[in-house]
Amino acid sequence: MAIIETHDLTKKFDKLTAVDRLNLSINEGEIFGLLGPNGAGKTTTLSMLATLLPPTDGNAAVAGFDVRRDAAKVRRNIGFVFQDPSSDDMLTGRENLYLHALMYGVDMRNINEKMDAVLRLVDLTDKQHQRMKGYSGGMRRRLELARGLLHEPRVLFLDEPTLGLDPQTRQHLWKYIKKLSTEKKVTIIITTHYMEEADMLCDRVAIIDHGKIAALDTPQKLKSMLGGDVVKLMVKDPKLAAVKKLKYVKDLKHEDGVVTMTMFDSNKHLQEVLKKVGDVESVETRKPTLNDVFLHFTGNEMRDSDDASEGGWSERMMHSSVENR
């Protein structure tokens, strides 16, 4: 059963089309990844789903409510963990949760029980009376998760939830995110620049570029779309014309002395490629990763953000939420 549906969802800013006729159907209880380069339209999409931005065209429904007509009902059913921390450093963890409960109109008759439950979920019970300024980065992100769940949303948006965290802390946070999906049955929409994060967590992934969906499927199926193995050769003056003619070689690229290709049956055909390409200094073969898929559909050039809704998103969400309670 779909809990989020969009139909030709579009957002334009003057001459810029940030989101271009986007069609999504996200199932209840699913962990869904939204990936894309800077300025691809990810933040604009989430802003429309959160009723922060009105669509220019098309429509969307979240938890059964139209984002145009039923904005307040949509907001009661969603939670956020923002990329930028939005907790008060001078308050304790529990005090931050209590403030959030007041803002979201949580029933005060069982607020302590709810705060205890979310603190247990993210293993912060023993740190709940410590001021936030003494929290580590990982503890802050875990408290943000707890805060986003306090009003029991059906949908939770996570915007770069592990950005800037060390690998060990990221692994721990992945465990909590998985727990939210399995134990709380929360539908989670996650944006991330860590491809291994999307691969590990997401049931399905949509790669969005220039406001359109370039690919959408499970991580495994997306990787299988590339076909074969990824082969990297360090070669001086490679003879690419002969290699390009081989039927089992595709997506051949040459940059800075490194030849990268996707090859079917690399175990069988690699020796033939090595004979044709020239003086090979080193060889690397591996299975395709989600990062390879990402680069395949979006290219590998650096981009500056041109998403007109970027910046100040968390502040607008907090203010809008209070105004519509």
> What domain count does the chain have?
2
CA Rg value for the chain: 23
Q: What is the mean pLDDT of the chain?
A: 88
The one-character DSSP state at 104 is T
pLDDT at site 301: 52
Task: Kindly report the CATH number assigned to the domain that includes residue 63.
Answer: 3.40.50.300
Residue 133 lies in a domain: yes
Task: Kindly report the CATH number assigned to the domain that includes residue 257.
Answer: 3.30.70
**Element housing 234 (H / E):** strand 229-236
- pLDDT beyond 60 at 312: no
Same domain, 205 and 115: yes
Residue-range definition of the domain harbouring residue 217: 2-222
CA distance 88 to 70: 30
- pLDDT beyond 90 at 187: yes
Same domain, 241 and 113: no
Residue type, 147: R
Residue 321 lies in a domain: no
Residue 39's pLDDT band (cuts 50, 70, 90):
confident
- Reference 283, options 300, 263, 303, 302; nearest CA is 263
Cβ 279 vs Cβ 236: under 8 Å: yes
Same domain, 17 and 79: yes
Residue 292 lies in a domain: no
Cβ 48 vs Cβ 58: under 8 Å: no
Same domain, 69 and 216: yes
- pLDDT beyond 80 at 14: yes
* Higher pLDDT pick, 160 / 316: 160
Same domain, 215 and 234: no
160-170 per-position pLDDT tens digit: 888 878 888 88
Residue 162 lies in a domain: yes
Same domain, 196 and 258: no
Residue 123 lies in a domain: yes
Residue 306's pLDDT band (cuts 50, 70, 90):
very low
Residue 186 lies in a domain: yes
Q: Is 110 helix (H, G, I), strand (E, B) or coil?
A: helix
pLDDT at site 10: 97
Same domain, 174 and 147: yes
pLDDT at site 317: 46
CA distance 92 to 145: 15
Residue type, 86: S
Burial class (CB in 10 A: 0-12, 13-18, 19+), 318: middle
Among 171, 190, 222, where does a domain finish?
Answer: 222
**Element housing 3 (H / E):** strand 2-13
98-149 per-position pLDDT tens digit: 999 998 888 899 999 999 999 998 899 999 999 999 999 889 988 988 898 8
pTM over 0.85: no
Residue 29 lies in a domain: yes
Residue 319's pLDDT band (cuts 50, 70, 90):
very low
Same domain, 149 and 276: no
Residue 176's pLDDT band (cuts 50, 70, 90):
confident
- Could you tell me the CA-to-CA distances from 114 to 31, 51, 150, 277 in Å, in that order? 23, 26, 7, 64
191-247 per-position pLDDT tens digit: 988 899 999 999 999 999 999 999 999 999 999 988 889 999 999 889 999 899 899
- pLDDT beyond 90 at 296: no
Partners of residue 290 on adjacent β-strands: none
Cβ 47 vs Cβ 1: under 8 Å: no
Among 172, 190, 222, where does a domain finish?
Answer: 222
- Could you tell me the CA-to-CA distances from 72 to 24, 37, 54, 76, 186 in Å, in that order? 22, 31, 13, 6, 19
CA dihedral 64, 67, 70, 75 (to 10 degrees): 80
Residue 53 lies in a domain: yes
Same domain, 126 and 171: yes
